[in-house]
Amino acid sequence: MNAISFEVPKGIEITEDLIKRCQLAILPELAESHALSICKKHFGVEFKLGEYNSKGFDLISLDGSIVVEVKQTSKPHNKAHVNLQIQSTWPKYGICTHMLILDYYNFPNRCSIIPHDEFFESTFHGATRIWRWDIDYGNRMWGNTTLFKKYEVQI
């Protein structure tokens, strides 16, 4: 396993909780970098990262024809441990061509690259339109789980 190290400002106590929070905070950035190689392999073209922390998208093909939003999850969304979820996807409606979802909870990790129209025609939950699927890829959240598996790619 590779490691990342960084300097912590003086006066900050390094606790187990801080380490856990830092690890969770870095996952979206790691997912975007991981997605670069996944998209290159899947689409057969080169990609670049979008502007850091900007509205819009995470990856774009060099010719601009493929625009990918990257989402990842690393833990169940509830105590029952039956579903995984991603959120903050609805603002990407009409912007991206594909939604790339990385499941960093299950091992081996899983990935799906879902075309825009099919993703946004699927089932969303609550006022914030959260997208959920079965943590075990079984029959819960059947429609979204089936969609994830339909567009699953090997990583």
For residue 51, the model assigns a pLDDT of 86
- Closest CA relative to residue 110, chosen from 57, 73, 68: 73
Q: What is the pLDDT of residues 108-148, one digit of tens each?
A: 999 999 999 999 999 999 889 999 999 999 998 899 999 99
For residue 64, the model assigns a pLDDT of 96
Contacts of 97 (CB under 8 A, 6+ apart): 65, 66, 67, 68, 115, 116
Q: What is the pLDDT of residues 37-68, one digit of tens each?
A: 999 999 999 999 998 776 778 999 999 999 99
- 25: how many CB neighbours lie within 10 A of its CB? 9
* Distance between CA atoms of residues 11 and 123, nearest Å: 46
Contacts of 54 (CB under 8 A, 6+ apart): none
Query: Phi, psi (5° rounding) for residue 73?
Result: -140, 145
Confidence of residue 1 (pLDDT cuts 50, 70, 90): low
Predicted TM-score (pTM) of this structure: 0.90
Q: Using CB atoms within 10 A of its CB, is residue 101 exposed (0-12), middle (13-18) or buried (19+)?
A: buried
* Vertex 128: Cα angle to 124 and 130 (nearest 5): 40
Domains observed in the chain: 16-153 (3.40.1350)
Side chain identity at 20, as an amino acid letter?
Answer: K
Residues 123, 135 contacting (CB under 8 angstroms)? no
Residues 73, 86 contacting (CB under 8 angstroms)? yes
